[in-house]
A and B are shown apart, each in its own frame.
Chain A
Amino acid sequence: MRTRFQQGLDDLRTRLLRMGGLAEQAVDRACQAYIDRDLTRCHMVLEGESLINAAEREIDELAFDLLAMQQPMAVDLRFILAVTKINSDLERVGDQAVNIAERVMDMVELPTVSLPVDIARMAAAVSAMVRRSLESFIEGKAELAQAVLEMDNVVDRMRDEAFISLVKTMNERPDVTRQALDALLIARNLERVADHATNIAEDVIFWVRGADVRHNVAPETPLHQSVTDTH
């Protein structure tokens, strides 16, 4: 047993989970800020971004060291590669949370209007995706990750519905165009968070099963064909 290497992998996992917690919290805060028109939460999201960025750099550095110093193979190699990609996705989740918070800060200056979009419902679905993708990573369970992939279609539909209804609103009520545009952009930010959660789930499947499920390659493409498959 390579004790130091195992400690490095454990450290990488712990750091990524901590970062995942920060990113998840940022999205939740940003969405709650939208619902409550809460500037305090917006500032918390902006301040939290530097922590997420610092975590990204530390995780990359540790992963790079493990690759260079320990020459990982097989499941360990897949784990480290998955971590580096999940790391990047989590950082982007943090960026999307910041975009939402900045949009809310812009919105609170405007009069409150009723819009035909349920951002809270969409935010709940997206948060659940992020949470479950991280759970699939914690437990190393491809089945949990698979469930996240299926949730992405639901969020895509929500985004499409929001787009249609908000464009209609903008056409019919030019006086609320700015509010509708903000809501539309937030819906798009949330949909992108869902995409990152999907990427995370795909990376978990890659780590656990050694299979590439990106870009809807059906049903599941093994990383390498076996000689018994090609003979």
Chain B
Amino acid sequence: MGVGIKVEHLNAWFGKTQALHDISMDVPANRATAVIGPSGCGKSTFVRCLNRMHETVPDAHAAGKVRMGDVDVYNGTTAVQIRRRIGMVFQKPNPFPTMSIYDNVAAGLKLNGFRHRHRLDEIVERSLKLSALGDEVKDTLRKKSGASLSGGQQQRLCIARALAVEPQVLLMDEPCSALDPISTGKIEELIFQLKEKFTIVIVTHNMQQASRVAEFTGFFLLGKLIEFDKTEKIFTTPSDKRTEDYITGRFG
């Protein structure tokens, strides 16, 4: 099951440049939450702070509190432990090109020393099924490389890879920006189904996508969280003029 994420007074910097300012947000468990805002507003930095990927950038650091369920993300846990509980899918599908489809999905588990072959088969099959890719690749699992798949299939393979380690949270950073409408539709349908099992945070530039898949939406501007509310409220009657100006295309 997914867990909620409680963010309190989160700040983030790249060197001396502050990218996030005092962000507080409650991401509800087993819901899809969209993060929207213009380029450079800090939305990707925000999600990368949730799984401590932000600190992998040289000179970057973050301060504040992030709790994922009962785990304090920045205190008493390692980044590796956190990333086992938080899967991430990126803008551009990034399957391991030399690995088969099967090995792509099993990679995270193998890296963690999981060697039980029969169980591994089960997890790969279940992850591919969860990511709605199972039927399309079942006959070529071990023959074809991940890179041989179409863009949309590659992205679903990356989702399967992220799900294989049984995370509680799935972060998606513009997962459909490189995909055609059919593949985008499949990923959106997937998000809808996956939130029964996982908490999903999705960064998107596509406001229609946010309105289609997310129950909650946060609007970021210049590193600040301007408004966080139910998605239908954000897109019909936002409380803040800056949110309204952005979603109606008056700036950004």
A216 in contact (CB, < 8 A): no
Give chain B interface residues in 204-239, CB to chain A under 8 Å.
Answer: 207-208, 211, 216, 228-230, 232-233, 235-239
Give chain B interface residues in 4-38, CB to chain A under 8 Å.
Answer: none
Q: Give the interface of B toward A (CB within 8 A).
A: 207-208, 211, 216, 228-230, 232-233, 235-239, 243-244, 247-251
Report, nearest first, the 8 A-B pairs whose CB atoms are least far apart: A210-B237, A224-B233, A2-B249, A73-B247, A223-B237, A74-B244, A76-B248, A224-B232
Total A-B residue contacts, Cβ distance less than 8 Å: 53
Would B235 and A74 count as touching, CB distance under 8 A? yes
Would B216 and A73 count as touching, CB distance under 8 A? no
**Which among B228, B230, B244, B248 has the highest number of chain A CB atoms within 10 Å?**
B248
| Shortest distance from the beta carbon of A28 to any chain B beta carbon, whole Å | 36
- A5, closest chain B residue (CB): B249
Chain B residues within an 8 Å CB radius of A78: 236-237
Further 12 A-B residue pairs, CB within 8 A, beyond A74-B237, A223-B236, A225-B230: A5-B249, A72-B248, A73-B211, A74-B236, A74-B244, A78-B236, A223-B237, A224-B232, A226-B233, A227-B216, A227-B229, A228-B229
Query: Of A72, A74, A210, A226, which is within 8 A of B229 by CB?
Result: A226
Would A224 and B236 count as touching, CB distance under 8 A? yes
Query: Of B207, B228, B229, B239, which is within 8 A of A73 by CB?
Result: B207
Would A226 and B230 count as touching, CB distance under 8 A? yes
Task: Decide yes or no: A73 and B237 within 8 Å by CB, A226-B229, A227-B228, A227-B230 being known contacts.
Answer: no
Task: Decide yes or no: A73 and B248 within 8 Å by CB, A223-B237, A224-B237 being known contacts.
Answer: yes
A71 in contact (CB, < 8 A): yes
Chain A residues within an 8 Å CB radius of B216: 227
| Assembly CA distance A5 to B250 (angstroms) | 10
| Assembly CA distance A76 to B249 (angstroms) | 10
A1 in contact (CB, < 8 A): yes
Q: Give the interface of A toward B (CB within 8 A).
A: 1-2, 5, 71-78, 210, 222-228
Chain A residues within an 8 Å CB radius of B236: 73-74, 77-78, 210, 223-224
| Assembly CA distance A77 to B233 (angstroms) | 12
| Shortest distance from the beta carbon of A9 to any chain B beta carbon, whole Å | 10
- A3, closest chain B residue (CB): B249
| Shortest distance from the beta carbon of A82 to any chain B beta carbon, whole Å | 12
Chain B residues within an 8 Å CB radius of A73: 207, 211, 235-236, 247-248
Task: Decide yes or no: A222 and B237 within 8 Å by CB, A1-B250, A75-B244, A227-B228 being known contacts.
Answer: yes
**Which among B235, B236, B238, B251 has the highest number of chain A CB atoms within 10 Å?**
B236
Would A74 and B248 count as touching, CB distance under 8 A? yes
6 contacts between A and B (CB under 8 A): A1-B251, A73-B211, A74-B244, A210-B236, A222-B237, A228-B229
- A9, closest chain B residue (CB): B248
Would A75 and B248 count as touching, CB distance under 8 A? yes
| Shortest distance from the beta carbon of A144 to any chain B beta carbon, whole Å | 20
Chain B residues within an 8 Å CB radius of A224: 230, 232-233, 236-237
- A78, closest chain B residue (CB): B236
- B232, closest chain A residue (CB): A224
Chain A residues within an 8 Å CB radius of B248: 72-76
Chain B residues within an 8 Å CB radius of A210: 236-237
Chain A residues within an 8 Å CB radius of B232: 224
Chain A residues within an 8 Å CB radius of B211: 73
Query: Of A1, A222, A225, A227, which is within 8 A of B249 by CB?
Result: A1
Chain B residues within an 8 Å CB radius of A228: 229
| Assembly CA distance A2 to B247 (angstroms) | 11
| Assembly CA distance A36 to B45 (angstroms) | 74
